[in-house]
Each structure stands twice: as structure tokens, then as C-alpha cells.
């Protein structure tokens, strides 16, 4: 596929100053006002003051100008009515299903070997750590997300939207949810985008990958010590994608996830998902999701504002 990762998402927020401060505490750097950087991905979240929260722009990365040519051709072939604006280092267009602005740009790949060394874990009959506490409890540096790994948003037509991402952009469908949506990837990560059927392309959550489950817990603990009310759901483990998770709510109402141990899919033909059923569509273990995770309390107001614009 020509794509290899997510780049920069522009997200509208209703309280810019408080939300910037929140994501700094979450572990992102802020090299420029409102432009938030992960450890390995550079600036991957831009916050903009807006009358309602939501996704303003979706960014994807490719290696070179040949890839930009492929994206341009793919989008144009899918829908000749889409206007694709070509620049030297990027192409811009609106998703023809939901009219979300997309920016596909030349971007460096994530560097290798930046993660915390794998923890030495003890298990029955397998002792890998002796005479010292676990690494996870000895860490005292701040948690720093490695990358923006995925986002989940609504779409007015999940079947057409999935076709667009596959046929025009080269996404792979890792796990379909018949009648509801699907988990798509533009990299080895199990999913970089989840599309779910809805009345508008509302933003459900953005997810940041950290090195291991200890970083999920440490990051969430820090945020909850600062503001217990930002807790949404966690700690748990998803079945689809396998990642450990903890979801938090930023001051503008957007959901942000710490994620770790996400499945990697290197060959689509080799990936054999099971037929997820029951609660496995949302989680393998942990507390059941709260109602506000499934139906955000402000969703009617957000959707109404989006449709009005």
C-alpha cells in the first residue's frame, strides 16, 4: 500500500487552553502552541478552537512523490467529482462520503528501537527477574506516547466509506463488523481507522500507543490524580486488535486512549480473526463500557452542529 502511517490530525476543541494543558499532562510535547507531538511521530495532533468538538482534518503519510501520484489516481478513479489539489509534498481532497478534509503528505517512517526495553516478567515455572522489583514499578519518568496509532469516527455510509478507503487509498480491512462498520489499517498496526455507522462523521476517540501496559496504567493514574472526573473506561483489553486500553475524556469532551500491545498484521492473507461475538466486539476483559462510551452525552449537540455546517 502507498500509505504507511497516520500523520497529523486537526481536532476542534471548545476550550483550547485547557485542552492544550490536558494533552501536555497526557504526555505529549508542544513545540508550538496547539501543536502536540508524540515521541516518535512528531506533531500528530493540532488543536483548534471551534464551536463544537470534532475532527477537522485527517492526515496520512506516504514515502515519496510516486505514492502521491498513486493516491491522486486512486481518489480520482473512485469519484471523478472529487477535487484533488496537488502540492510538491502533499495532496489534499475531501472524503467523498463524509466530506472530511484529507491531507496525504510525504512523511518519514517511525524510527525503530525507541521503546522501553521489554519488561522481564515472572510467570509460574518461568522466572525472568530475580532479586529486584519489576521495571514498571521503578519507572519515575513521565509517560510519553510513541505515536498516534488510530482514531474512530462516524460515517453516514460505512459500506461506501470502507470501499473508498480500500479502493482509493489502499487501506486493508482487518476486521469487519457487519452492519456497523470496520477496522482498517494503512500500516502494520491492526487498525489505524475504525469507521462506524452514524448520522455524521463525529469523532469518537483518538488513541496513542505507549510501550507497555505499565505505561497505560502509569499514564492514566497520573491523569486521574490530576482530575478524577476525566476517567471514562479502563483498565481493560480489547479483543479486536488485542490492545490494553484506558480511555480518558479531555476538557472539550473528546475521548483519548492510552493503548499498548496492539496486534501487527504484516500479511493480510495470514491474519485469521475469529468471528467476534457478544461483548468481544468491544472488549475481551475488564469492566463493561459505560453508557457514555457507547453514546457520548454530547453526541446529539455535536451531530446537530456538524450537520448545520
pLDDT tens digits, one per residue of 122-157 = 999 899 989 999 999 999 999 999 999 999 999 999
Residue 119 falls inside a structural domain? no
Residue 133 falls inside a structural domain? no
Residue 117 falls inside a structural domain? no
Residue 65 falls inside a structural domain? yes
| pLDDT category of residue 268 using cuts at 50, 70 and 90 | confident
Residue 282 falls inside a structural domain? yes
Q: What's the confidence (pLDDT) of residue 191?
A: 97
Nearest-angstrom CA–CA distance, 242 and 240? 5
Set of cell numbers at residue 118? 521489554
Residue 91 sits in a domain of what CATH number?
3.10.180.10
Q: What's the confidence (pLDDT) of residue 102?
A: 98
Q: What's the confidence (pLDDT) of residue 108?
A: 95
Q: How many domains does the chain have?
A: 1
On average, the pLDDT of the chain sits at: 95
Residue 120 falls inside a structural domain? no
Mean pLDDT of 48-68: 97
| pLDDT category of residue 28 using cuts at 50, 70 and 90 | very high
Say if residue 309's pLDDT is above 90.
no
Non-local CB neighbours of 3 within 8 Å, separated by 6+ positions: 60, 61, 62, 67, 71, 104, 169, 170, 171, 186, 187
In which domain, by residue range, is 236 found? 3-110+143-308
Residue 136 falls inside a structural domain? no
Nearest-angstrom CA–CA distance, 309 and 294? 24
- What Å distances lie between residue 9 and 42, 60, 125, 240, CA to CA? 12, 9, 46, 23
Residue 132 falls inside a structural domain? no
3-state helix, strand, coil in the chain (%, to 5): 25, 35, 40
Mean pLDDT of 1-7: 92
Q: What's the confidence (pLDDT) of residue 170?
A: 96
**Residues 261 and 213 sit within 8 Å (Cβ to Cβ):** yes
Question: Which of the two residues, 176 and 114, has the higher pLDDT score?
Answer: 176
Q: What's the confidence (pLDDT) of residue 2?
A: 87
pTM: 0.96
Amino acid at each position: 500500500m502507498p500509505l504507511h502511517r497516520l500523520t497529523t490530525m486537526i481536532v476542534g476543541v471548545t476550550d483550547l487552553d485547557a485542552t492544550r494543558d490536558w494533552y501536555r499532562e497526557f504526555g505529549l510535547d508542544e513545540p508550538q502552541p496547539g501543536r502536540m507531538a508524540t515521541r516518535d511521530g512528531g506533531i500528530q495532533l493540532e488543536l483548534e478552537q471551534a464551536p463544537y468538538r470534532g475532527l477537522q482534518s485527517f492526515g496520512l503519510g506516504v514515502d515519496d512523490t510516486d505514492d502521491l501520484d498513486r493516491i491522486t489516481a486512486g481518489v480520482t478513479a473512485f469519484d471523478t467529482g472529487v477535487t484533488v489539489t496537488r502540492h510538491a509534498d502533499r495532496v489534499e481532497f475531501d472524503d467523498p462520503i463524509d466530506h472530511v478534509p484529507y491531507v496525504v503528505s510525504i512523511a518519514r517512517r517511525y524510527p525503530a528501537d525507541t521503546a522501553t526495553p521489554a519488561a522481564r516478567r515472572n510467570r509460574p515455572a518461568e522466572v525472568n527477574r530475580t532479586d529486584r522489583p519489576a521495571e514498571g514499578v521503578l519507572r519515575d519518568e513521565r509517560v510519553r506516547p510513541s505515536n498516534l496509532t488510530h482514531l474512530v469516527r462516524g460515517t453516514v455510509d460505512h459500506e461506501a466509506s470502507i470501499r473508498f478507503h480500500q479502493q482509493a487509498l489502499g487501506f486493508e480491512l482487518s476486521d469487519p463488523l457487519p452492519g456497523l462498520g470496520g477496522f482498517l489499517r494503512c500500516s502494520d498496526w491492526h487498525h489505524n481507522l475504525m469507521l462506524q455507522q452514524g448520522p455524521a462523521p463525529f469523532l469518537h476517540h483518538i488513541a496513542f500507543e505507549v510501550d507497555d501496559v505499565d505505561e497505560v496504567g502509569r499514564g492514566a493514574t497520573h491523569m486521574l490524580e490530576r482530575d478524577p472526573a476525566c476517567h471514562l473506561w479502563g483498565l481493560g483489553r480489547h479483543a479486536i486488535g488485542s490492545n490494553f486500553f484506558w480511555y480518558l475524556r479531555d476538557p472539550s469532551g473528546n475521548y483519548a486512549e492510552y493503548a499498548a500491545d496492539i496486534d501487527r498484521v504484516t500479511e493480510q492473507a495470514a491474519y485469521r480473526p475469529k468471528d467476534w461475538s457478544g461483548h468481544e466486539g468491544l472488549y475481551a476483559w475488564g469492566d463493561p463500557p459505560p453508557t457514555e462510551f457507547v453514546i457520548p452525552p454530547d453526541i446529539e449537540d455535536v451531530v446537530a452542529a456538524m450537520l448545520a455546517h
